[in-house]
Amino acid sequence: MARNASKEAGFRVATATSAAGLRCDDHVSVARREDGLVLALADGAGNSDDGGPLAEWLVSTIKERALEAKNLPGADALSRWIEALDMQWFATGRRGESALVVVSVTHSKVSGASVGDCGAWLVRSGRYQELNGEQRRKPLVGQGRATVLPFGPLPMQGVLLLATDGLLKYAPETKIQHLATDGNVSVAAAKLVDLVRTASGALQDDVGLIVCRKED
């Protein structure tokens, strides 16, 4: 399992990806800017060998764009990025598909855009707000016709959790809420992955997640 934790611009961020099989098709990236963060999480669909490479390309390309952008992108800009990347990949003729969620975060607000079934939650005080609950599940990014849902800006309150369905599909919401609010984001990320392990320690699906919280 790959893990990473960072402290940037008054935030603590931890990421984790873990494979159910020989490779992990869930990928994450964190772009650290002086004016905030851009977080990306992609879940490559398993119906072709190109799903994982597409997911990896999406998050790495978004990180590059975020670091090069003059201003921190809002929801509309992130939506345009996803639409352009969808068309760019489709033009290559490769068959990969991927779910994707991207958010920009400042101390006061969070904005984002998504396609598919990756979740974006704000968790606080034993409850959570699903930021992208109205997103379109199909078609995914990669077919050249993704319908992107922009969301926000919304107040940045509590812990921001981005997660693939490898976590959200197999774990109770109440347990996810409890573990996500651990004061140590690295501990939270590790416990969330372990939450969906079977008795043998295996996973039923790849897991990818990002935990982000403002420093106290």
Residues 163 and 126: their CA atoms lie apart, in Å, by 18
Mean pLDDT of 116-122: 96
Burial class of residue 183, CB neighbours in 10 A (0-12, 13-18, 19+): exposed
The enclosing domain of 82 has a CATH number of 3.60.40.10
The dihedral through the CA atoms of 66, 70, 71, 73 has a sign that is negative
40 pLDDT higher than 70: yes
- What pLDDT digit, counting tens, does each position of 154-205 carry? 999 999 999 999 999 999 999 999 999 988 999 999 999 999 999 999 999 9
Which band of pLDDT confidence, cut at 50, 70 and 90, is reported for residue 7?
very low
Q: Which domain holds residue 99?
A: 2-214
pLDDT for the residue 83: 97
**How is 69-84 classified by DSSP, letter by letter?**
-SS---HHHHHHHHHH
Mean pLDDT of 99-119: 97
What is the percentage of the chain residues whose pLDDT exceeds 90?
85
Is the preceding peptide bond at 172 cis, omega within 30 degrees of 0?
no
59 pLDDT higher than 60: yes
Q: How many structural domains is the chain composed of?
A: 1
pLDDT for the residue 148: 95
30 pLDDT higher than 90: yes
pLDDT for the residue 216: 66
Residue 144, number of CB atoms within 10 A of its CB = 13
pLDDT for the residue 3: 59
